[in-house]
Amino acid sequence: MSNITPLPLADWIDAFVEWLTQAEFIFGPLTDFIGYLISGFEWFFGIFPPWLLLLIMVGLTFWFAGRKIGLTVFVLLGLLLIWNLGYWEDMVLTLAIVLTAGVISIVIGVPMGIWMSRSSAVEGAIKPVLDFMQTMPAFVYLIPAVAFFGIGMVPGVVASVIFAMPPTIRFTNLGIRQVPTEIIEASEAFGSTGNQKLFKVQLPMAKTTIMAGINQTIMLALSMVVIASMIGADGLGTAVYFAVGRNDVGGGFEAGLAIVIVAIILDRLTQGIGASKRK
Amino acid sequence: MAKIQVEDLTKVFGKRPSRAIKLLEQGKSKDEILEETGCTVGVNRTSFSVEAGEIFVIMGLSGSGKSTLVRLLNRLIDPTEGSVWVDGDDLARMDDKGLRKIRREKMSMVFQQFGLFPFRTILDNVAYGLEIQGLEEEEKKKKADEALQLVGLGGYGNMYPDELSGGMQQRVGLARALAADTDILLMDEAFSALDPLIRKEMQDELLELQGRMKKTIVFITHDLDEALRLGDRITIMKDGRIVQIGTPEDILQHPADDYVAKFVEDVDRSKVFTAEAVMKRPEVLTIDKDGPRVALQRMKKEGISSLYVTNKDRTLLGIVHADEVSDLVEQGSEDIRSVLHEDVPTVQKDTVVKEMIELLTYKNTPVAVIDEENKIVGIVVRGSVMALLSGKEVSAVE
């Protein structure tokens, strides 16, 4: 084997990325746009004093996640703990990153999923790309993200989107394809247009499945928070990252616990919104 | 002109339909074509027409192409060849816009598994067609509510489909189709998923509704009894082809081939045939004209022991029996009214034979068939009923 020259795959990719970074006219505005989104969320959360935001989050969980008393009490205690440990600011930043990544994933992912559901050719083409996006180690996305978007929150969001978007696309596609033929036929037989069929029948029928995908996406985005902290995306992840660097078990555990609490809240909330209110 | 006119309608599923079509024209069978081209022939060059206001039943076993055929009628499936003329427009060659217009205004559909939208309330389900037609909110509600009343589900508008039983769900399906107020109703195995008692109830209700609304109904079923009960005309399909089209009586009496004959073999004929099919021309006595002697002579000539008595305009008055008339003659009386029995068994022309059997069993006289004005149009004797039930040809009055 030693006689065979290895393919210069790494060089090619470097060259390609180098070439791409020239396209400042694309990445400049994109960076700005994502930056605005993050700041928007940050600003929004900043409006409320911590105690009010805390109460709002507890209220939302109670309202959307099936009015479970136990869960609500847990969320209340968890958020109080985060506040008490001094991670409130970090948590807000993390929420801003996760929500930005989530919103971008939904805005791109749902239409992609719809497109995929309409044509088997498109499905066949996109599926391997999604597999690629999900199986490539998440760290790898950090490198081009830095190349295109520099250091900070924005590349963190970009890397999160790439890593977290596939479930939304997949589940949207799946949800629409799973609608029983007869129901589609019923909608067509009454003379629905393509859009009427989509918005009046397919999307409502697929809603639960799509929400399961969005739930997955949010969870994956949250899991990227720690990884993205390596390229300067601030928040709870940074606290964990620094603790690892300093071999600070206690601090790392605190920050990690905060992430877990946020994860549980986001998970129950998105699941709750997805579940049909009518049983 | 026919409401729906189908000409040479063909559907081939698969990648190379044009080759399959060629083979079809050469008269190759469905299996041979599948073998050679990998294409499945769904519907094979069928032609028929459906008249306005009739219930046209398409009957066949699974795989016969009946479900494909009904979906070709509103182009849920695109035909490979042929035409579907609806009120003079060819659906097969219509653009999407025209097709949607036809679907909104001319034909609606009822599905085997009901095809209801689980996330919509019953009222919103029924209103779906109207919503697509673009009706105002208020009118939509009103019409949907009327349709629900019509199928007897007036109070259920705010419930959801999964809260109703199967039979009720299909009523909703029917109401949704009726609400759209189209001339044509396509019903794809609409009652097949229901249990037998509910199915029969729905059939009765459909017939009752049809009596009032006079829609043009194309009804798909695999159940021969259902076909015979509902159909004004029945089409029997096999392997994508039409084997026979005819009235229920036609199909029972003159099966086109062995397949149909075998199919109809076990049918309870007494439920299908009506008095009209088995009645004979009545020998009657006109009361003001004929006396006892004429009566006796007529009975002797016909070899019968009783005779129906009518007015000059053939209004049925009663029956006289040979022994009593003969007594009358011996007494020298002319008063035929004195031996007239007014209590006679009568049926209408459309009474099914099954309902006459009891009348024929316990009385030794033929049953009189009368019209709406109580005029006698025929008589039914035991012999012709037995011949009919045994599957033999019967001679109806012309």
**For position A231, which CATH number holds?**
1.10.3720.10
Determine whether the interchain pair B100/A185 forms a contact, defined as Cβ–Cβ distance below 8 Å. Answer: no
* Per-domain boundaries in chain B: 1-106+188-197+214-267, 276-389
Residue B53 is which amino acid? G
- Does A30 fall in a domain? yes
Give A183's contacts in chain B (Cβ within 8 Å). Answer: 115-117
Contact map slice: B 125-164 vs A, CB within 8 A: 128-129, 131-133, 160
What is the tens place of the pLDDT at every residue in A23-75?
A: 777 788 888 899 999 999 989 988 888 889 999 999 988 888 878 888 899 99
Comparing alpha-carbon positions, the chain B residue that sits nearest to A188 is B76
Overall domain count for chain A: 1
Structure tokens at A252: 């790392």
pLDDT at B357 over 90: no
Comparing alpha-carbon positions, the chain A residue that sits nearest to B77 is A185
If you average pLDDT over residues B303-319, what whole number do you get?
A: 87
Contact of B292 with B325, CB cutoff 8 Å: yes
Whole-number pLDDT of residue A276: 56
Count Cβ neighbours within 10 Å for each residue of A98-110 and write b for 16 or more, e otherwise. Answer: bbbbbebbbeebb
Contact map slice: A 158-217 vs B, CB within 8 A: 180, 182-183, 185-193, 196, 200-201, 204-205, 207
Whole-number pLDDT of residue B90: 92
Determine whether the interchain pair B115/A276 forms a contact, defined as Cβ–Cβ distance below 8 Å. Answer: no
Give the residue numbers spanning the domain of A128: 20-44+89-246
Q: Which of A180, A190, A278 has the CB atom closest to B132's CB atom? A: A190
Dmax (CA) for chain B in angstroms is: 91
Give B176's contacts in chain A (Cβ within 8 Å). Answer: 190
Homologous superfamily (CATH) for B1-106+188-197+214-267: P-loop containing nucleotide triphosphate hydrolases (3.40.50.300)
- Does A15 fall in a domain? no
Comparing alpha-carbon positions, the chain B residue that sits nearest to A201 is B117
Look at phi and psi of residue B134 and say left if phi exceeds 0, alpha if psi is from -120 to 50, else beta. left
- Does A254 fall in a domain? no
Count Cβ neighbours within 10 Å for each residue of B187-196 and write b for 16 or more, e otherwise. Answer: bbbbbebbee
The CA distance from A188 to the nearest CA of chain B, in Å, is: 7
Radius of gyration (C-alpha) of chain B in whole angstroms: 27
- Does A199 fall in a domain? yes
If you average pLDDT over residues B74-94, what whole number do you get?
A: 92
- Choose among A201, A173, A184, A202: nearest CA to A115: A173
Asked if the C-beta of B94 comes within 8 angstroms of chain A's C-beta atoms, the answer is no
What is the tens place of the pLDDT at every residue in B326-356?
A: 888 888 887 888 888 888 888 888 888 888 8
Homologous superfamily (CATH) for B276-389: CBS-domain (3.10.580.10)
The CA distance from A190 to the nearest CA of chain B, in Å, is: 5
Comparing alpha-carbon positions, the chain B residue that sits nearest to A184 is B115
